[in-house]
Amino acid sequence: MGAWNVLNILKSLRDEGLMDEYNALLERFNISTEHFIKTKYPYLSEFPFDTTGYESTYFFRKYRERKDLVEEVVKVLLATLHHQPIWWWYGCDIKSLGVYTTPMNSRCLLDAYEDNPSDHLLLRIGYAGILAPWSQVYPTGEACTGPNWSPDGSSGSYFNPAWSNEFGVGLYADLHALKAYVIEDPDFGLIGYGCTVSKRNNLYIITPAKGIDSGIFIAPSKINIEVLRAHISETNVTENGEKISLDVSKSINSIGTIILKVNGLKAGRYIISTDGGFSKEISCPLGSLEIEIPAAEKETRINISASNQI
């Protein structure tokens, strides 16, 4: 469990210059990867009904760029997660305890969708599974992973009491996966998952929902936008991705900067500026950028535009 985050930890260790720790973790990670690549059925657990190995299998195999084996995991996940259109089961692992695996496995489907944005089933099932755990978080802040969630609101069952158990493991993965998705649905046209979206001429106008307002994936152009230490109130993006504007606010008052990440841009040079006077031109040969930007006290308008310079 948690293989999705090992890659983030490795990157952070390398970026912070902690190379001894980076190399030690990478060595262990590579040993684990070999198991998930070579084992014919790596989904086993101590319980016959358990799905804790699915998420690790997906991300270990993706790390090794084994597309064939990644596609196998996606098929297993789609066979495991419920497709019935009833809200308390849709996108869920159905079992009597340990439902924290639902968001962990659902984030695999969302990751696969971002690589294959024409496969809308991945988004439908994956997004339902990401939202599902919140039906088990009570107004008091307590969370229950003991029973199946169901419409009767039961806090436990005869065999399984209402305990939180590993629920936090699932919620941590869930919070990192939640984002808004803008798609051109074959049946319903332009719609948003976790956001409202409209289109004027060639401009997408996106307003993410509260609590899901730190990331946006625009499927038609495969552009991924993420802010750290901030919230997005509105984003405007041209169809070709050459002009992007974001209205963002700090998540806490004590910070002075926010971090902006954008993937899926056309390769080239881009100018990043704010309404507070900040401006910087950077090269994005791989279509990705990451930049730290000064944050205003209330709201900051960030503009990204393709530069004419080569």
CA distances from 233 to 130, 210, 211 (A): 21, 8, 11
Q: What band does 160 get if pLDDT is binned at 50, 70 and 90?
A: low
Q: What is the pLDDT of residue 147?
A: 52
Q: Locate the domains of the chain by residue range.
A: 3-178, 181-306
For residue 15, what are the contacts with CB-CB under 8 A and spacing of at least 6?
none
For strand 268-274 and strand 230-238, is the pairing parallel, antiparallel, or unpaired?
unpaired
- Do residues 216 and 208 touch, judged by C-beta distance below 8 A? yes
pLDDT at 111 exceeding the cut of 70: yes
Query: Per mean pLDDT, which range of 33-37, 81-85, 173-177 is the poorest?
Result: 81-85
pLDDT at 115 exceeding the cut of 70: yes
pLDDT top residue among 259 and 150: 259
Tokens 């980076």 — which residue? 22
Q: What band does 236 get if pLDDT is binned at 50, 70 and 90?
A: very high
Counting residues of the chain whose pLDDT is more than 90, the rounded percentage is: 65
Q: What is the pLDDT of residue 288?
A: 95
| CATH number belonging to the domain at 181-306, selected among 3.40.50, 1.10.3470, 2.60.40, 1.20.120 | 2.60.40
Question: How is the chain split among helix, strand and coil, in percent rounded to 5?
Answer: 35, 30, 40
- Phi, psi angle pair for 6, to nearest 5°: -60, -40
Q: What is the pLDDT of residue 90?
A: 86
Question: CB pairs under 8 A, 24+ apart, for 166-170?
Answer: 166/98, 166/100, 167/99, 167/100, 167/133, 167/136, 167/143, 168/100, 168/143, 169/1, 169/2, 169/100, 169/104, 170/99, 170/100, 170/101, 170/102, 170/103, 170/104, 170/133, 170/145
Q: What is the pLDDT of residue 139?
A: 82
pLDDT at 35 exceeding the cut of 80: yes
